[in-house]
Chain A
Amino acid sequence: MFRNTYDSDNTVFSPQGRLHQVEYALEAVKQGSAAVGLRSKTHAILLALKRSTGELASYQQKMIRIDDHVGIAIAGLTSDARVLSNFMRQQAMASKMIFNRPVPVNRLVSTIADKAQVNTQEYGRRPYGVGFLVVGLDHTGPHLYEFSPSGTSFEYFAVSIGARSQSAKTYLEKHFESFADCTLEELIRHGLHALRETLQQDKELTPANTSIGIVGPRGAHEADSVPVEFRILEGTPIEVYLSTMQPKDVPAPAAAAAAAPATGGDEDVQMTE
Chain B
Amino acid sequence: MDHFPTNWGRPNYDSFDTHATYPLHNRGQNQAAAGGVQHTQQPIVTGTSVLAIKFKDGIMMAADNLASYGSLARFKGVQRLHAVGDYTVVGASGDMSDFQYLQHILDGLVISEETTAQDGHALGPAEIHEYLSQVMYSRRSKMNPLWNSLLVGGVKDGDRFLAYVDLLGVTYSASTLATGYGSYIAQPLLRKAVEGREETLTEAEARTILEDALRVLFYRDARSINQYQIATITANGAEISSSLKLETSWGFAEGIRGYGAQTQ
Contact = CB atoms under 8 A, between A and B. Distances in A.
B22 interface: no
A259 interface: no
B212 interface: no
A107 B127 contact: no
Contact of B121 (A97, A100, A107): A107
A46 B127 CA distance: 30
Interface in A85-122: 97-101, 104, 106-107
A100 B130 contact: yes
Contacts of A4: none
A97 B157 CA distance: 21
A138 B157 CA distance: 14
A101 B117 contact: no
A140 interface: yes
Interface in B76-119: 117, 119
Interface residues of A, number: 11
Of listed B121, B129, B130, B131, residue having the most chain A CB within 10 A: B121
B155 to A, nearest CB: 16
Interface string B121-143: 10100110111001000000000
B137 to A, nearest CB: 11
A140 B120 CA distance: 8
A106 B120 CA distance: 10
Contact of B126 (A97, A101, A106): A101
Contacts of B127: 99-101
Contacts of B126: 100-101
Of listed A100, A101, A140, residue having the most chain B CB within 10 A: A100
Contacts of A104: 119, 121
A188 to B, nearest CB: 28
Contacts of A99: 123, 127, 130-131
A16 B77 CA distance: 65
A106 B157 CA distance: 20
A99 B127 CA distance: 4
A107 B130 contact: no
B119 A97 contact: no
A47 to B, nearest CB: 28
Contacts of A140: 120-121
Contacts of B117: 107
Contact of B130 (A98, A106, A139): A98
B131 A98 contact: yes
A98 B134 contact: yes
Nearest to B124: A101
A117 B127 CA distance: 30
Interface string A123-147: 0000000000000001110000000
A91 B126 CA distance: 19
A75 B126 CA distance: 38
Contacts of A100: 126-127, 129-130
Nearest to B126: A100
A138 B129 CA distance: 20
Contacts of A106: 119, 121
Interface of A: 97-101, 104, 106-107, 138-140
Chain A to chain B: the 6 pairs with minimum beta-carbon distance, closest first: A100-B130, A99-B127, A104-B121, A101-B127, A99-B130, A140-B120
Given A100-B127, A100-B130, 7 more contacts: A98-B131, A99-B123, A100-B126, A101-B127, A104-B119, A106-B119, A139-B121
25 contacts: A97-B134, A98-B130, A98-B131, A98-B134, A99-B123, A99-B127, A99-B130, A99-B131, A100-B126, A100-B127, A100-B130, A101-B126, A101-B127, A101-B130, A104-B119, A106-B119, A106-B121, A107-B117, A107-B119, A107-B121, A138-B121, A139-B121, A139-B157, A140-B120, A140-B121
Interface of B: 117, 119-121, 123, 126-127, 129-131, 134, 157
